[in-house]
Amino acid sequence: MKDFREMKRRGEKITALTAYDYPTARLLDESGIDIILVGDSVGMVVLGYRDTTDVTLDEMLHHTRAAARGVKQALLVADMPIHTYNTPAQAAETARKFVDAGAQAVKLEGGVNRITQIEAITQAGIPFMAHIGMLPQSVREQGGYRIKGRTQSEVESLLADARGVEDAGAFSVVLEIVVADVAKQITNALGIPTIGIGSGEHCDGQILVTHDLIGLFPWFTPKFVSPEARVAEEIRRAARAFIDRTRGTAGWNDECRIKSECPNDKR
């Protein structure tokens, strides 16, 4: 595990992307990424759920095992799905299951309201990544995705959350959709690194959903993402080319079938 605090002190940006399967995890690992997150975003971009609240523990463990087989260098972090860390004892038990599945660290959503759970995990010797700001597992309660840090009370709450998770033993904290100036303020206030998603450039690192980065989920792209590739378009192009080639060579296929079934046929 890299010393992410030292990276923060040196001003070296931390890079993180999501992966939910072996080939993606292996490709990201070979690319030199610092952190690979098996995120519960798998619910939307892979499993077709409306949001992350339908993702189960068994599904997350399955995808963690797959991703772990492809990772040799990066730190593999796994998201703890909703209702798997309601109590400190449950949080520690769930975290151990992820470690058994191949994760090297775990992440759950929440700040001061989750301190006892975070402490239970870190006291069990399991590295922990925090997540504050917009909490996707609370999206239904909040009526959608909202930028955090627009009011003074929200700023004070975010700072309290950030300091709380640091004191509880987190090695880093994800800031999701936080006002950029507030994210900068939090970053300067902490000894552990902040990893932003939609929270401006002043965080100590950045994380994205890989499907958003490479254009593999074209039906929705967050406003703060500029895709570096258009993989969905390439898949459509390849599929159409296969369809056209197959339909245009039906006679060739019939001939191959005859020759395989009747090797002595001279036609």
φ, ψ dihedrals at 152, nearest 5°: -60, -40
Residues with Cβ within 8 Å of 45's Cβ and at least 6 positions away in sequence, in order, are 20, 209, 211, 212, 216, 217
How many whole angstroms separate alpha carbon 95 and alpha carbon 85? Answer: 9
Q: Cα–chain-centroid distance for residue 84? A: 17
**Is residue 176 flagged as an active site residue?**
yes
Identified catalytic residue from 12, 119, 176, 201 = 176
> Which residue reads 């020759």 in tokens?
259
- How far the first Cα of the chain sits from its last, in Å, is 64
How many whole angstroms separate alpha carbon 17 and alpha carbon 26? Answer: 12
Catalytic machinery residues: 176
